[in-house]
């Protein structure tokens, strides 16, 4: 289907590797707007519906997405907020799902001030977990207790007891330290590598008595539509707060990029995209 994009989000990973993109490439993965051409096979939302989508080429006035990559957005949910959900929401949701039930378990989220982290904190709390949110500075921990974190710590030295689940967004030395905090039988979900450091495990540091500890990678973004629908439903009901920390015209995208790379945004950046020829009249 073809979507008239009104808002798109800017993710840290997208801007970190801008120098590796080919000239003229249409970037971005998260978009929200209106359907202007429905899918030819008759599936998916119809013309005029408000939708959020996940797929390549989102930083555009119009973009095409498969019907398995979109979800309808109720009128009660702001489209700009919906645009911030796909990549970070799918990542947080799927890594928590892979970790298994978290009710009554200690869940450590590193890099908790970012887009993935802020949603992961909320989803883990909804699942009944005791959430420890690790951030780089006290200022970046603002608002995390209100989102459901039972503890907010700067770095990992202040985590006093072993944890059952780790959602690890930083890589490098943080990944090694988080592994050492994992109790036997626990699982570490390696989500991202925001640091520029390698992860160096000392000899024998992987060995642990008791039930096996596991480290899992994440990169599955296939068939995102059902999970997008789940996330939109949670946001519409107010069960999760969408972490938009910056919003502005796409002519100011350089400001968003600089702020993301400088760790000046709590959560996500969203760009507002001007409509084609004044926009399509849709209900």
Could you read off the pLDDT of 172-189 as tens digits, one per residue?
A: 999 999 999 999 999 999
How would you classify residue 57: left for phi > 0, otherwise alpha for psi between -120 and 50, otherwise beta? left
pTM exceeds 0.75 for this model: yes
What is the per-residue pLDDT for 195?
87
Taking the CA atoms of the chain, what radius of gyration do you get in angstroms? 19
Q: Tell me, yes or no, whether 114 and 175 share the same domain.
A: yes
Provide the domain count of the chain: 2
Q: Tell me, yes or no, whether 27 and 112 share the same domain.
A: no
Q: Tell me, yes or no, whether 58 and 172 share the same domain.
A: no
Would you say 214 and 187 are in contact if contact means Cβ atoms under 8 Å apart? Answer: yes
Residue 235 lies in a domain: no
Residue 230 lies in a domain: no
Residue 41 lies in a domain: yes
Which range of residues forms the domain containing residue 264? 2-84+242-278
Q: Tell me, yes or no, whether 150 and 207 share the same domain.
A: yes
Q: What is the pLDDT of residues 19-58, one digit of tens each?
A: 888 888 899 999 999 999 999 999 999 999 999 999 999 9
Residue 177 lies in a domain: yes
Residue 13 lies in a domain: yes
Q: Tell me, yes or no, whether 78 and 120 share the same domain.
A: no
CATH number at residue 76: 3.90.180.10
Q: Tell me, yes or no, whether 51 and 130 share the same domain.
A: no
Those residues whose C-beta lies under 8 Å from the C-beta of residue 268, and which sit 6 or more positions away, are 9, 10, 11, 84, 88, 115, 242, 243, 244, 245, 246
Q: Tell me, yes or no, whether 34 and 138 share the same domain.
A: no
The average confidence (pLDDT) of the chain is 94
Q: What is the mean pLDDT of residues 148-169?
A: 96
Q: Tell me, yes or no, whether 208 and 116 share the same domain.
A: yes
Would you say 109 and 82 are in contact if contact means Cβ atoms under 8 Å apart? Answer: no
Structure tokens at 32: 């929200």
């Amino acid at each position: 289907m073809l979507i008239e994009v009104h808002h798109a989000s800017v993710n840290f990973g997208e801007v970190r590797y801008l120098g590796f993109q080919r000239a003229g490439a249409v970037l971005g993965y998260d978009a929200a707007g209106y359907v202007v051409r429905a899918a030819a096979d008759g599936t998916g939302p119809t013309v005029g519906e408000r939708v959020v989508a996940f797929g390549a080429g989102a930083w555009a006035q119009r973009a095409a997405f498969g019907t398995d990559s979109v979800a309808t957005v109720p009128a009660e949910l702001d489209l700009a907020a919906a645009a911030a959900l796909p990549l970070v929401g799918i990542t947080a949701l799927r890594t928590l799902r892979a970790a298994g039930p978290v009710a009554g378990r200690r869940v450590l989220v590193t890099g908790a001030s970012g887009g993935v982290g802020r949603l992961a904190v909320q989803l883990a709390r909804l699942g009944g977990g005791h959430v420890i949110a690790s951030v780089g500075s006290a200022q970046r921990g603002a608002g995390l207790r209100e989102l459901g974190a039972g503890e907010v710590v700067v770095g990992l030295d202040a985590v006093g007891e072993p944890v059952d689940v780790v959602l690890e967004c930083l890589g490098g030395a943080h990944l090694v330290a988080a592994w050492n905090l994992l109790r036997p039988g626990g699982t570490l979900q390696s989500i991202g590598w925001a640091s520029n450091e390698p992860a160096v495990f000392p000899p024998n540091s992987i060995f642990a008595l008791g039930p096996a500890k596991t480290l899992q990678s994440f990169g599955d973004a296939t068939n995102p539509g059902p999970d997008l629908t789940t996330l939109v439903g949670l946001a519409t009901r107010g069960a999760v707060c969408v972490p938009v920390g910056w919003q502005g015209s796409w002519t100011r995208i350089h400001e968003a990029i600089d702020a993301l790379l400088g760790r000046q945004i709590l959560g996500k950046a969203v760009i507002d995209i001007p409509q084609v020829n004044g926009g399509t009249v849709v209900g």
